[in-house]
Structure 1
C-alpha cells in the first residue's frame, strides 16, 4: 500500500485525469478500501481541493472548481499566466506545443475559480498577438473548442457536431472521439464515426459542437499505433484521387523544413535523397505543388505525371519565348 502522502498525490492525479470516479474504482486503483478513499478525499478537501461527492449507487467523486485555487499548485497570477500562454499556443498552432498543451489547459481550466476564468477570457479576447508567421497561414481554432474535444476524448464521451467539408457542405456527425493530432498549421480529431461505422479524421476548425454530448462509451482499439502518421497519410495522400511518389534530391531533414505533415509523407532513402508520398485533386494541381517546393526531384510514380510536367515545361517555355527582350521587342 502506498504511504498516505504518495497516495494523496496519486488520488489527486486520478481525479484530474477523469471527470468522475466511483468510490470502488478509486479504491481498486489505489489498492485500498472505500473507507480509506473517503478519508483521503477529506484530506484533499482540508488542503483546499474541491472534491465533490455524489451519493447513491450511480454516484462518485469529481474534482471541481472551488472558490479558491487549490494550494501547492499555482497562485492566481501564475495560473492566469499559464492559462493565457496555453490558450495562445493552442489557438495559433505554434510548432512543438502539441496536444500536451491542450490536455494541460483542460486540467487547469477545470479548477480555475470563476474570477480567474474571467481574467483569462478578457486577456485572450482583447489581446492581438504579433507572432512569426508560419510558412502557410495557420488555421485558427477556438481554444475552448480544443478543450471541449480534449475533454470528450479524456472522458470517452460521444460527441455530436456539425461538420463542414472542403466543399462547404454541412453534415451532422455522432462520433466516439479518440485523440487530437496537431501540426504547426492545423488540428485534427481522430474519432470513430458511429453512423459510418469506421474511423474518420476531422479538421477541428470545421467542427461546430451541438451539445448535449454523451453517453460514455468503451474505448476502441485505435486505427494505428502511430496516429500522427495515420493522420498525415489520410490528409496528404489517401484523401486525393491523384497520388504520386517523388524522389527528392535532399535529405529528409532538409525536406521537412519545406514539406509539412499535411503536404505529404517523407521517407529517408539515403543521406542525400528521400521519398515523398503525396497527393492532390488532379495531377496538374500536383505539378504546381511540386514546383512550389523548390526542391530538385524525379518522379518515381506514376509515369503519367512525367507527361504533365513536360506539358507545364512546354507552356512555360512558350511564355518565355513570347516575352519582350530588353530592347522592348518581342522575341521571334
Structure 2
C-alpha cells in the first residue's frame, strides 16, 4: 500500500474536507479524489463516506487512519533520531499554548527559537486545557497550573502572579475600593465557571478575604477580557504579563495593589508525555524556554 496515499488519508481526515486537503497540498480537489480512489482500490474497501457537507470514516477507513497516524509518527521519530546522530536540530514540533500567554510567547520567545534554529518547523495551537497530549498529538504544552498531570514530565518555568486591573475611566465611575469587600458591587471580568460565580481570595500579610461575585463577562480568551477592561467594562483578574503592557500605556491600573490574588493558577510549566522518546528539536525548544523564561519576571516577557 502506497504510504503517501495513507498520508493523504490522514490529511483529509485531519483537515475535514477534500478541498482543504487539496489546498494544503497545492493541488486540485479532483486530484485528491483520484488519489483517494486509488488508495481505496489498494485497500479493497471504501474508506470514506462523502457527502456535500461532511466526511465520515468507514470502519475500514478508521482502522487505516489509526495505523497511518501511528506509522507517520514513527517515521517522524526515526527521522529525528537520524538528525540527533548528525548533531543537527531539525524537525517538526507541535506546541500548545494558553490563550493570552500565546500572544506574548509567540511574539518573542518562540520566534526567537525559530530564528536560532531555521531547520525547525512549529505548529502552534491555543488551548487552556491540560489535555491528553498523545491524543491531541501535542509535543510540548505550556500550561499555568499548580498540579501538572502525574503521567507527564513537566519543566517548571517559573511562577505567574495574578492581579486585579481596571481602566482609569471605570474606576472614576464607581466608589473607591480601599478593601476587597468593596468589590461586591463591581463588574467582574473572568474565566467561565460551572456555577457562573467566581470566588476571589485576596491576601495582605496575615489578612485574607474571600469574596464571591457573579461576573459581568466571562471568556476563556484572556486577551478579550483585557480589551474589555481597557474599554471600561469592569475589573479583570489577569495574570500580570497579560496586562502590564496596558498598564505601561496608562490604559489599565492595578486595583488593590497591596493585596495578592490567590487561587487562579500557579507556575508556568512546559509539559510533555513521559512515555515517548524526546526528539532533539523538542529538547532544544524546552531548553530555550527555560533559558528565556525561568528566573525572570513573567511581566517582562
Structure with greater contact order relative to length (CA < 8 Å, sep ≥ 6): 2
TM-score (norm 2): 0.33
- Which entry has the higher C-alpha Rg, 1 or 2? 1
Please report the TM-score for the alignment, with normalisation by the length of structure 1. Answer: 0.30
More strand by share: 2
